[in-house]
Amino acid sequence: MLEELSSVAGSAFAVGNLAWIFFGVTLGYLVGALPGLGKGTATAVAIPLTFYLEPLSAIAFLVGISKGSTAGSAVSAILLNTPGEPSSTPTAMAGYPLARAGKAQKALKMGLFASVLGDFFSTIVLILIAQELAEYALGIGPVELTAILAFSMVFIAGLSGRSMIKGLIAGLFGILVSCVGLEVETGSPRLTFGLIELYDGLPLIPVAIGMLALAEMMTQIGQRQRLLDEADLLKGSSKREDQIVTLDDWKKCFRPILRGSLIGTVIGILPGLGASVGSFLSYGAERRASGRGADFEESGAIEGVAAAESADNAVVPASFVPLFAIGIPGSVIAAILISAFVIHGITPGPLLFLENKELILGVYLSMIAAGVILLFVGYFGQNIFARIVRVSPALVMPVVVFLCCVGAYLQGGGTFGIGVMIIFGIIGFFAKKYDFSFVTFLIGFVIGPSFELSLRQSIGLVTNASELIDHPVAIVFAVMAVVGVWRLTVMQRKQMAEMAKSQTN
Amino acid sequence: MPKTDLYAGLGLMAFGLITLFVLIPAQTSDGGDATISPALLPQLCAIAITGLAVLLTLQAAGKIKRGKAAGQTVPAAEWASSAAVIIAVGVGVLLFKYVNPAVAAGLLILGLMLYMGERRIYFLIGIPAVLLIGAWLLFYKLLGTAIG
C-alpha cells in the first residue's frame, strides 16, 4: 500500500492540488464558522466550482471544504452557542460556558487539535479497509446488491430520524423521484410531463442544493435575530493559561480524543448514522466518565469539546468507506461527493479500485494533506474566524442564496435548474419542519437507479422463490432488513417514551 | 407532534394515491415487449408510501385521541422568511430571463439584504457589486464558462 501511495504522491502533493485543498479548507472553515451554515451547504454550493478542474483537484477541493466546515462549525458553537449544524451541539454545550469564562481561545484550540486528530485517525482507517471491502464487494451479484441496498435504506431510514415510518417515506420518495427520466430498459420517458429537460432525470446538484442549502436558508433567515444575541454574553481574559492548551489539558483530553476518534470512525462506516450520533455518543461517554454531572455543562469542559470534536470529524472520512467500497453513500457529504465523481465520469463502487486506482490513492493522500492544512489554517486563522462569526447574517445569507442559484444554474441546465432547486427547497423546508429526514431522501435519490437496475436483473435471475436458496447473502440481508424495521421501531418508541417522560418531569 | 403528523400523513396518502392512479398511468408507458414494466418501481414506491402514510395517520390520530396533541409549530417568522426567499429567487429568475443576468443577481442579493434589515448603504451597494464582479471573474475569465 505504501509503495502504491508513494507512486501518486507527485500528483497529490503537486502545488496546484495543494492550492485547491488549501482554498477548500479555508473556504470550508469560513463557511463552517458562520452561524447556521454547515458542511452540507458548503459542499453543495461549491460543486459548480469543480466542473472545470481535474478530477483529483475537484475531489480534493470538496474534501477540503467538508473537513474545513466540519472543524469550523466549532467556532460558532463555542463563541456564539450557535452550532453550524446539529453535530456541533455537544461542542456548544461544553465549550460555550468556557468561552463565557474567558477561555474561548483554549476551547477553540483544543477543538481544532481534536478535530485534526479524529480526522487523521479516521482517514487511516479508510485507507486500510476500503480496498479490502471493495475486493469482497466485487463478488456481489445483483440479487445480493438489491438486498444490501434495501437493508441500507432501512438502516438509514431507522437511524437518521426519530420515526422509522417517516424515514422510510423519505427514502422511498427519494427512490420515486429518481425514477423521473428515460427508463433504463425500454428508453421510454417516465414521469417527465413532456419536459425534454427531464429525460436525463432530475439533476442531482439542484436537488441537493435545494434540499440542503436553500431549505436551510429559508429557516435561518427566519431566525436571524437569535443568531447574534448570544455574542453579547462573551467576555475576554488576559491570562495566558486561559488562551493556550497546557500539558494538563492534553492529559485530560488524550483519552476522550482517542475514544471519540474510535466512536466517530465506527459511526461513520455505518451508513446513515451521521456525525450527530457520533459526537453525542462521544460527548455522553466523556460526561459519564468525568462523573461531574450537570457541572459539565454549567462550568464547561475542555474534555467535552475534545470528545465531541474528535468524533464529529472522524465521521466524514469513515463515511467514505461504504461509498468507495460498495457505492453506497453513508452521509450527506458522501451523497454530494457522488455527483462530483459522476461529473468527472467516475462511478463510485468496488470497480473504483480497478479502474481509477491512481485517483483514489491520490484522494487518500489529499485527505491527509487536507488534515495538515486544516491544522495550519485553523491555528493561524483562529482570530480572523473568531471575528467572522460576528458578521451580520443580513450580509451572509443573501450571498449564500445567490451562490445556490449559481450552482443550480450551472449544473441544472440554466433556469430550469433554479426551478428544480426552488421546488426541492420547498420540499426540504417542509421535510425539516415535519421531521422527515432529507438525508434519507437524498440517499434514496442517489441509490435509486442502482436499486432499480439490480432489482430488474434480480427479477430476471430469480424466477421463483426457491431459487433464492442459491443466494444466501441476499437472504441474510433481507432478513436483517425486516428485523431492522422491527428493532429500530421498538428502539425509537422507547426513546420517544423516555423523551415524553423527561419533558413531563 | 401528532397534529402535524396527521396532516403530513393525510397529505402523503393523497400524494401516494394520485401518483399511483393518475400520474404513473398517465406518465409511464406499458413497456411494450419489455420483460418488466417501466412502471414497476414507481408503483412499488407509491404503494409503499401510501401504506406508510396510512400508518403515520393512524399513529397520529391515536396519539391525539389519547390527549397527546401538543407539539411544536413552525414560527410565523420562518413561514415569512421561506416565502421571501422563494419570491426573491422567483423574481430573480424572471428578471434573468426577461431583463439581464446582472440585474437579476444584483436585485436578488439587494432584496434579501433589505428584507433582513440591512440599511447601511455601503454594504447594500458594495456586496452585490463585489459578488457580481467576483462571479464574472471566476466563471467568465478563470473557469471559461458563461452565465446567461
For residue A482, what are the CA distances in angstroms to A12, A111, A121, A230, A456? 44, 40, 34, 46, 21
Task: Provide the 3-class DSSP secondary structure of residue B99.
Answer: coil
- Please report, for chain A, how many H helices and E strands are present, in that order: 24, 2
| Chain B residues in contact with A411 (beta carbon < 8 A) | none
pLDDT score recorded for residue A26: 92
Sign of CA dihedral A394, A400, A404, A407: positive
What integer pLDDT is reported at residue A157 of this predicted model?
78
A190: three-class secondary structure by DSSP: strand
Position A389 scores a pLDDT of 67
* pLDDT band at residue A61 under the 50/70/90 scheme: very high
Please report the pLDDT score of residue A254 as a whole number: 92
The CA dihedral of B96, B100, B106, B110, to the nearest 10 degrees, is: -70
Given a cut of 70, whether residue A240 has pLDDT beyond it is no
The pLDDT of residue A237 is 55
Residue A19: pLDDT over 90: yes
Please report, as a single letter, which amino acid is at residue A238. Answer: S
Query: C-alpha grid cell for residue B51?
Result: 401504506
CB pairs under 8 A between A and B: 181
Give the pLDDT score at A384.
81
Distance from CA of B65 to the nearest CA of A (A): 16
Q: Mutating which of B74, B89, B130 best tests the A interface, going by the most A Cβ atoms within 10 A? A: B89
Confidence of residue A200 (pLDDT cuts 50, 70, 90): confident
pLDDT (average), residues B11-28: 94
Mean per-residue pLDDT for A99-127? 90
Average pLDDT on A198-227 reads 81
Q: In A, which residues are within 8 Å of B74 by CB distance?
A: 433
Q: Give the best residue of B44, B56, B85 to mutate against chain A (max A CB count within 10 A).
A: B85
What are the start-end ranges of the H helices in chain B?
A: 2-18, 24-27, 40-65, 76-98, 101-115, 121-135
Please list every residue in chain B whose beta carbon sits closer than 8 Å to the beta carbon of residue A422: 86, 89-90
Hey, is the C-beta of A392 within 8 angstroms of any chain B C-beta? Answer: yes
B121: phi then psi, degrees, rounded to nearest 5: -65, -35
For residues B40 and A153, which has the higher predicted lDDT (pLDDT)? B40
Residues of A in Cβ contact (< 8 Å) with B22 = none
Q: What is the reported pLDDT for A259? A: 93
User: In chain B, what residues touch A191 (CB-CB under 8 Å)?
Assistant: 23-24, 27-28, 42
Tell me what pLDDT residue A306 has. 92
Check if the beta carbon of residue A40 is closer than 8 Å to that of residue A212: yes
* Partner residue facing B52 (CB), from A169, A188, A459: A169
More confident residue, A155 or A380: A380
Cα-Cα end-to-end distance for chain A: 56
Longest CA–CA span in chain A (Å) reads 76
Q: Torsions phi, psi of A181, nearest 5?
A: 125, -170
Nearest Cα neighbor of A122 from A282, A320, A327, A395 is A320
State the smallest CA–CA distance between residue B119 and chain A in angstroms.
10
A229 to A79, A403, A429, B82: CA distances (angstroms): 11, 26, 24, 22
The confidence score (pLDDT) of residue B10 equals 94
- pLDDT for the residue numbered B143: 65
Dihedrals phi, psi of A182, to nearest 5 degrees: -75, 135
The least confident of A155-169, A213-227, B65-79 is B65-79
Q: Does residue A61 contact residue A83 with C-beta atoms inside 8 Å? A: no
Q: Average pLDDT in the B90-99 region?
A: 88
| CB nearest to B113's CB, from A220, A398, A434 | A398
Mean pLDDT of B52-73: 80
CA A290 vs CA A74, A280, B84: distances in Å: 22, 15, 47
**CA–CA gap between residue B63 and residue B59 (Å, rounded):** 6
Q: Cβ of A498 under 8 Å from any chain B Cβ? A: no
A55 in Cβ contact with A357 (< 8 Å):
no
User: Is the CB of residue B87 less than 8 Å away from at least one CB of chain A?
Assistant: no
| B108:A405 CB<8 A | yes
CA pair distance A236, A105, nearest whole angstrom: 9
| Residue B70 backbone phi and psi in degrees, to 5 | -65, 150
Determine contact: A185 vs chain B, CB below 8 A: yes
Does B82 contact A185 at a Cβ distance shorter than 8 Å? no
A461 in B contact zone (CB under 8 Å): no
CB A149 within 8 A of CB A447: yes
At residue B147 the predicted structure's pLDDT band, cuts being 50, 70 and 90, is: low
CB contact under 8 A, B59 and A410: no
Q: What is the model's pTM?
A: 0.78
Asked if residue A301 has pLDDT above 60, the reply is yes
Q: Give the per-residue pLDDT at A136.
A: 78
Residues of A in Cβ contact (< 8 Å) with B92? 405, 418
The pLDDT assigned to A225 comes to 60
- pLDDT score of B1: 65
Among residues of chain A, what percentage have pLDDT more than 90?
Answer: 19
Q: Is B117 at the interface with chain A, CB within 8 A?
A: yes
Tell me the nearest-neighbour CA distance from B91 into chain A, angstroms: 12
> What value does the mean pLDDT take over residues A264-292?
79
Q: Do B145 and A52 touch (CB under 8 A)?
A: yes
Which three cell numbers, joined as nine digits, stand for A110? 483544543
Q: What is the per-residue burial (b if ≥16 Cβ within 10 Å, else e) of B19-28? A: bbeebbeebb
Residue in chain A closest to B109 (alpha carbons) equals: A398
Of the candidates B38, B49, B105, the beta carbon closest to that of A173 is on: B49
Mean pLDDT of chain A: 82
Report helix, strand and coil shares of chain A as percent, to nearest 5.
Answer: 80, 0, 20
> What is the structure's pLDDT at A24?
92
Confidence check: pLDDT of B15 > 90: yes
Lookup result for grid cell 422567483: B90
Cβ of A434 and B4 within 8 Å? yes
Q: For chain B, say whether A248 makes contact (Cβ under 8 Å).
A: no
More confident of the two residues A489 and B113: B113
A282 has a pLDDT exceeding 90: no
d(CA B92, CA A418): 10
Spatial CA neighbour of A65 closest among A47, A83, A86: A47
pLDDT at B60 over 70: yes
Q: Buried (b) or exposed (e) across A472-502, using 16+ Cβ within 10 A?
A: eebeebbebbeebbeebeeebeeeeeeeeee
d(CA A54, CA A51): 8
Q: Does B107 touch chain A (CB under 8 A)?
A: no
A278 neighbors A87 (Cβ within 8 angstroms):
yes
Question: Is residue A416 over pLDDT 70?
Answer: yes
Mark which residues 296-335 of A lie under 8 Å from B by CB.
none
Q: Above 90 in pLDDT, residue A391?
A: no
**Structural contact between residues B46 and B22, judged by C-beta atoms closer than 8 angstroms:** no
Mean per-residue pLDDT, A310-331: 85
Complex-level ipTM: 0.90
Q: How far is residue A356 from each of residues A137, A347, A363, B28, measured CA to CA in Å?
A: 16, 9, 11, 37
Residue of A nearest to B119 (CA): A394
Residue A464: predicted pLDDT: 79
Does residue A233 carry a pLDDT above 60? no
**Contact yes or no for A279/A90 (Cβ under 8 A):** yes
The span from the CA of A165 to the CA of B11, in Å, is 15
Average pLDDT over residues B59-67: 84
